[in-house]
Amino acid sequence: MSWKDDVYTVLERDPAPKSFKEALLFSPGLHAILLHRISHRLYLKGQYLLARAINYFARILTGADIHPGAKIGKGFFIDHATGVVIGETAEIGDNVCIFQGVTLGGVSTEKGKRHPTIGNNVVIGANATILGNIKIGDNVKIGAGSVVVKDVPPNSTVVGVPGKVVKKDGVTKLDLRHDLLPDPVVDAFMNISNSIAELEHRVAELERLVKKEK
């Protein structure tokens, strides 16, 4: 995979850039990815100090902190880079999209795998937090602001704090429409409201029968 493929990924998923040159010059998410790919190659060669220096520069330039040890697949897209944090042992599959403020963090100071593994075709909403050595399956959508601390099965939608699977529908197409994600809180209120309306109807029927008998 060449650096041009990363640029074309931006053009495919971000309607703002009007040309290849504009995407290349003015997309901080793209810059964060390109600099990470360089630092990751150096990291694999054992040149840790230089890799971290590039990582540090990238954080200052883009606002994203992606550890050189993180493994990132092809077709990775960051829509705005500000506040993105990706830990050392994180693994990200192909065609993954994340928004600003996303954290792929750890919950342990021990050595070894301590960050999430993200499958293919995953969309992670703004300010979502995914913690620990957990697995996020293929074709998963994680709503903005969610906090995920457990494995998520493929083809699922996760929202809330802590994150809960609210939908499993077998979707395999990358979908950026976060406004269409289900809201479990609203659903719960709707269920309560419907139950109250049904109870009121039953009480009214009982009162009518009692008055009729009198």
Which of the four pLDDT bands, split at 50, 70 and 90, describes residue 173?
very low
CB 148 within 8 A of CB 165: no
By C-alpha distance, which of 104, 60, 102, 71 is closest to 86? Answer: 104
pLDDT at 1 over 90: no
List, in sequence order, every residue forming a beta bridge with 124; answer none if it has no partner. Answer: 98, 142
What phi, psi does 174 have (nearest 5°)?
-65, 125
pLDDT at 172 over 60: no
Q: Give me the pLDDT at residue 194, please.
A: 80
Q: Give me the pLDDT at residue 47, please.
A: 96
For range 93-114, the mean pLDDT:
92
CB 167 within 8 A of CB 152: no
In our burial notation (b when 16+ CB lie closer than 10 A, e otherwise), range 181-193 reads beeeeeeeeeeee
List, in sequence order, every residue forming a beta bridge with 152; answer none if it has no partner. Answer: 136
Centroid of chain to Cα 211: 59
What one-character DSSP code corresponds to residue 123?
A: E
d(CA 202, CA 66): 59
d(CA 64, CA 81): 5
Q: Give me the pLDDT at residue 195, please.
A: 83
- pTM of this structure: 0.76
What would the two tokens of residue 152 be? 């998520």
Strand 135-136 versus strand 156-159 pairing type: unpaired
